[in-house]
Structure 1
Amino acid sequence: LLQGDFADAYANLNRKTLLLLRWAAARCPAVPFLLKADDDVFVNLPALTSYLMTFRHLPRLYLGRVHWWVQPDRDPRSRHHVPAA
């Protein structure tokens, strides 16, 4: 369990991710795999394992979802709000 000095809010998701990556780099530098998922994400572990086992030497790999052609959400009431400044 990692605990950061910031509110557990959607706006701080980047801080949570950096906290995990910094902790892993400092405490587990030789770990071959690192998975970050939220509580609302289903991880099919058998499928993930099968996929990763197809690589002989897995390079540094970062995966995520790219949102193409999406404008920032400027509505301050929105969960996905991005301030203009």
Structure 2
Amino acid sequence: MRCALRARSGLRLRGHVGAHIRRLEALRRAGIVKRIDPDQWRIPDDFESRAAAYDAGRSRQSRSASYRFSTLKADRRRRAT
């Protein structure tokens, strides 16, 4: 299946189309879609399932990210404040 996105005038439409293009670029980097030229993309027949699996993997990655703000253990942090 081939898909063409053509932006028309108007800031809101450009922002909307831009969001879709950024999404397609992320999916291209993941190997799900292919860019034919600047405004045409090759979308596979199983796009929905592959994109859903990509999204599920991304949400698992973001949930597993942890940040450490202090090297002190919790009980020592309470005493230090």
- TM-score bin, normalised by smaller chain: under 0.3
TM-score norm. by structure 2 comes to 0.26
TM-score norm. by structure 1 comes to 0.25
Structure with greater contact order relative to length (CA < 8 Å, sep ≥ 6): 2
Relative to total residues, which structure has the larger helix share, 1 or 2?
A: 2
Q: Which has the larger radius of gyration?
A: 2
Relative to total residues, which structure has the larger strand share, 1 or 2?
A: 2
